[in-house]
Amino acid sequence: MRIIPRALCLLCCISVSLAAKAQQQKKNESYHLRIKRAVSPVKIDGIIDEQAWQEADAATNFHMVLPMDTSAARLRTDVRMTYDQQHIYLLVESYTPDAGPYMVESLRRDFAFLKNDNFLLFMDPFDDQTNGFSFGANAAGAQWDGLMYDGGKVDLSWDNKWTSVVKNYKDKWVFEAAIPFKTIRYKKGITHWGINFSRNDLKTTEKSAWAPVPRQFATASLAYTGSLDWDTVPPAAGPNISLIPYLLGGIAKDYDKGTPSKFRRDIGLDAKVAITSSLNLDLTVNPDFSQVDVDKQVTNLDRFELFFPEKRQFFLENGDQFSNFGYSTIRPFFSRRIGLGAPIHFGARLSGKLNKDWRLGVMNMQTGKQEEIGLPAQNFTVAALQRRVFSRSNVGFLFINKESLNYDPAKVEDKPVYSRYNRNVGLEYNLASSNNFWTGKAMLLKSYSPGKTGHDFAHAANLQYTSKAWNISWQHEYVGRNYNAEVGYVPRQGYIKLMPQVTRLFFPQSGVVLSHGPQVTSTWFLNEKFRRTDNESMLNYGIVFRKRNTLNIWASNTYIQLLNPFDPTNTGKDSLKTGTRHNWNTVGADYVSKPQSLFTYAFSARYGGYYEDGTRLMTNAELGYRFQPYVSIALSANYNNIRLPQPWGNNSFWLVGPRLDVTMTNTLFFTGFMQYNEQQKNINLNTRFQWRYRPASDLFVVYTDNYLPEPFYVKNRALVLKLVYWFNI
């Protein structure tokens, strides 16, 4: 296989060339906001009456990003920043052409940017154009905070202590915030931080930014930040230790097994220790994740394992070095493998910046035994090291070790056999040009498992060019038949994948359409002897309207040669034989309504062939209505009709999920979510009440029910009460 060396050489050559250009001129280097020490105390109340704000410099004259990126913003936005020994202060005046009402989803934190009138701050305190923090609020006062990584992505699972207030006036809404220095990480001694501000206004459909950003990129792109210039070195955060204990009580009953009710009484502790101003140690003892959102179910018609995202905050927070290594279907580390069917006893993670160029992540987790299935106690160690190269690119190293403790598979009888160990070692190069037009990745992985040698490595590479009119990309993958990532997500082994893609966009000067254009994608799977096993070719035509509603119409051709027996309904009926070949055509359409309406909707439909001379019709609808900002009602409904010859016959599957979100205030929330899955013959009800009684401290009440729909009866149910308290030492 010579694909990887050639791709890696190409990426390196492009990166060297672009790095040379980046050294000549940094993007938006003329945009500066000076931040001075506050000359008076600042009260977070949304009222601009402090002397500190009167004397603070203002960032104004925002630039339009959408619908066009060639003019000044129509709406005026003024931003001021100041600081004292403990906090950074932010004041934003978002002027509006009329009194409202403002368009927001709810008061729930970490809202969807494009569905709310909102303001966001993007901050790069390392000045490396790769990592940082984001803070913001919508026009009703809901908070937004997240960790930034990969030069412009935001991990909203990060949740920390800071305060803010939004106050509405006749001609503007004011957002005022205080962010403790202890909340963020920053390089000691740096007096220039990358910074940008972004505003979204749904009534005018205008998205704007202080430092201009091309419209093909998110305004979060750290390649286009201006500079926050400190009048002196930012204050040291000082000793920074946070303890976050929890108390939990609950009751659960399994009606299926007929066992007595089980009472839960638990206690656990998380701790955060700032080793340096940019390096943090996280510790956890007996963690509990009962308040985490339930997975959104899907009708499973896939031949391979489905992916459900991680939602446990300990694994998500600052975990991008581990979880983003690789590609969507070649993840050597997938944290949901930890604690699967077994309790987590304790864990530790050291993560952050060593300096401007080096970034470190080390994690160790210990799980207990699960006697019922013979699962031994296991230890998981993950280590990642990243080095910035050129202007915005980096090289990363990853090591993963899963070890079964005091376990000998030879002595196990009548129970599943677990491996004694599984290890993965990987190297990755990430390309990001100074202007973000060129991005790419090249990766090499090798696994080590007892009894598995040869064909035990994986590699992949991609290169993408993104301009206003063109998006052109190439990606290939190779996974050996013995490559084994037991702590990862690699649903398929023993294949080669090739995937070119081309998109062309057109931008009318006027009219209801903002952009439109075709996209051509072709995906090929080959076995290790370079013989075709699967391929799908798709032609899509996409339209984005000026009101931000979207329409996509597409057609595809699919070919599959089965590598294993497969039941095309996934209901336990007969299976198609290995080696059988299947080919069919499909057409489909997707429509998403404009986000500024109180009533929103999205529809999808597809119809075409399906295995063994069958047909498949799929329709999907998502409806939503908001009584802003307090109540949001949503309903999703998915229907699949599959017609096949006997023994499968005619099969219909409904998947229905109504959801209710009530946000009494921006600290008091209720969520109710029901899912009816006809394929799995299950009804699930999950309700959660959350009271944020002080910053980052919560009371949760969670109730869960599972029912069998026919005949209708309770399978199991549980009630949990959990109290979390965050305090600093």
- Mean per-residue pLDDT, 24-53: 89
Q: What is the pLDDT of residues 239-253, one digit of tens each?
A: 788 999 999 999 999
Q: What is the pLDDT of residues 274-286, one digit of tens each?
A: 888 788 899 999 9
Q: What is the pLDDT of residues 76-90, one digit of tens each?
A: 999 999 999 999 999
The more confidently predicted of residues 512 and 412 is 512
Class of domain 31-230: mainly beta
Residues counted in the chain? 729
Average per-residue pLDDT in the chain?
A: 90
Lowest mean pLDDT among 143-147, 218-222, 707-711: 707-711
Q: What is the pLDDT of residues 516-547, one digit of tens each?
A: 999 999 999 999 999 999 999 999 999 999 99
Q: What is the pLDDT of residues 342-356, one digit of tens each?
A: 899 999 999 988 888
> At residue 643, does pLDDT exceed 80?
yes
Q: Look at residue 22 in the predicted model and tell me its pLDDT.
A: 44
257: Cβ–Cβ under 8 A, 6 or more apart, which residues? none
Greatest distance between any 2 Cα atoms in the chain: 81
Q: Look at residue 13 in the predicted model and tell me its pLDDT.
A: 55
Lowest mean pLDDT among 9-18, 460-469, 503-512: 9-18
Q: Look at residue 17 in the predicted model and tell me its pLDDT.
A: 52
CA angle (11 as vertex; 6, 17 as ends), nearest 5: 125
Q: What does the DSSP 8-state code read for residue 294?
A: P
Count Cβ atoms within 10 A of the Cβ of residue 552 and give its class: 0-12 exposed, 13-18 middle, 19 or more buried. Answer: middle
> At residue 485, does pLDDT exceed 70?
yes
- Mean per-residue pLDDT, 153-170: 89
Q: What is the pLDDT of residues 77-127, one digit of tens each?
A: 999 999 999 999 999 999 998 766 788 888 888 888 888 999 999 999 988
At which residue do the structure tokens 């601009």 appear?
A: 48
User: How far, rounded to the nearest angstrom, does the alpha carbon of residue 586 sit from its chain's CA centroid?
Assistant: 30
d(CA 665, CA 144): 15
- Which contacts qualify for 619-624: CB closer than 8 Å, 24 or more apart? 623/599, 624/599, 624/600
For the CA atoms of the chain, what is the radius of gyration? 26
> At residue 53, does pLDDT exceed 90?
yes
Domain map (residue ranges) of the chain: 1-26+304-493, 31-230
pTM of the full predicted structure? 0.88
d(CA 81, CA 29): 19
Q: Look at residue 709 in the predicted model and tell me its pLDDT.
A: 82
